[in-house]
Structure 1
Amino acid sequence: METPLSRKLKNFVPLTTADRDMLAEVLEPSRLIEPRADIVEEGEDPRGVNVVMSGWACRYRQFEDGRRQIISILLPGDCCDPHIYLLDRRDHAIGALTPVAIARIPGTAMVELKSRNPSLDLAFHREELACAAIQREWTVSLGRRSGVERLAHLFCELHARLAAVGLADGTNCPMPLTQPDLADALGQTTVHINRTLQDVRAAGLLSLKGRRLTLLDPEGLRRLAKFDPSYLHLRSARDAARGLEAIRP
């Protein structure tokens, strides 16, 4: 059975029908979360792995005075930390940016699944390493990219990640992030985000209408962002198969 999770993981390791069925079996029924509501709160005991089945969510930290930093964007198929159940408490919150359907894999079920299935164990490890690489690239953006480069890079990344799970249509993809969301993710004010959006639109690089992003000049946007998608580690099926064979006994 195909699920958003299996569509995501097959970017890292080829999955058989049996693999996909095993994934579907350990997923508990989805629950619906309203937009702008917390899925899990900071400090909770993380007894299982949450998986985004539909909609957009984010990891974030928030100060008592209301200032928020979005740490990462979670898209359909994304795990909210595949090994979080090994910790005693969650050190960040996860919130819904849109209506979200969230499913859960109990920690005990995840341990058993990975012990029984080396392919899925490898897929989850590769997915977690790819998430760490994305986090490093976000650090680079916040530390060294200009405001317009940060915005362009985020749009390039989100389009590539959506395309990897079949949610982009050519140069078009959903883009439900508000200007305050973008400001919280990119460490800028909403005023700065507004001006930056006007700049990239005026340059003919992209269009944002009706919560849809269109890359009008994909190569130009990538050059502006200095975007190299290799950090996403979205391997071809052939390359992933070779990697799996290399570690099998």
Structure 2
Amino acid sequence: MSSDWAWADVDVAVPDRSVQLPGVSMAGFRQRLRTPVEIAMVAHPAITLIVDLSDGIVYDVAGCRRRGSFVAGLLPVDAKAGGWRGECLQIRLSPVVAAAVLDASTELTGGVATLKEVWGRDAERLEDRLRGAASWEERFAVAVDAIGRRLGDRSVDPEIAYGWRRMVASRGRIRVRGLADEVGWSRKRLWSRFRHQLGISPKRAVQLARFDRAAHLLAAGHAAASVATRSGYVDQSHLNREVKAIAGVTPIAVATAPWLAIDKVAWPTGPRA
């Protein structure tokens, strides 16, 4: 399977503002690729659901290849997604939403699992409804309805939800101790509850939000030294270390990652905008 990804051979659909849920963003893809391809996934402060609508999605995790709909956690190191011809719906859930609607909270970090493993018995029903929809607009509405129906089942502490929003809004330029003071908790309690409910430590979450900012500056062509300064790293060496720790690759590889190249088209109002 080739690693050369041609976005010119992929049609992208996005929902209008009337089809939205807080913490949820979506994009539809129709691939007209001449040969099967795969691209490495890049860490992002959202859980990624890829729903296969035409039996054409293949994903690879550390050399183990599988087919069908899947869910990737916040840090999908060594994970690749691809296919050939067909359609898929990609849904990004903030960890706060994901903790409420998915069945396996352990997959909120670095895991990759089948949709059925984290959506339960409703996964097949969701796929059937999406495949039967007549348009992307209808598919987006079906997805919003399915997610909305599950939101009432579980929820995270308001303090944890607030903490996550602050981390993402600040692009990782916030201290965990200061955040604990903001919500009126001890640092120990915030650390424990955050990790228990979102599957990631507050420190790692801050690093991920900071990395996301840096990754998009790198992809936009900015020099690594400038990116380090603008993203809140101590210096370029600090940037290099954290990018390697988060993504498993160098800043140069992140700068040319095809996974990021479609963001300004597919996610115009998403968390990365």
Q: Same fold by TM (over 0.5)?
A: no
Larger RCO (CA within 8 A; separation ≥ 6): 1
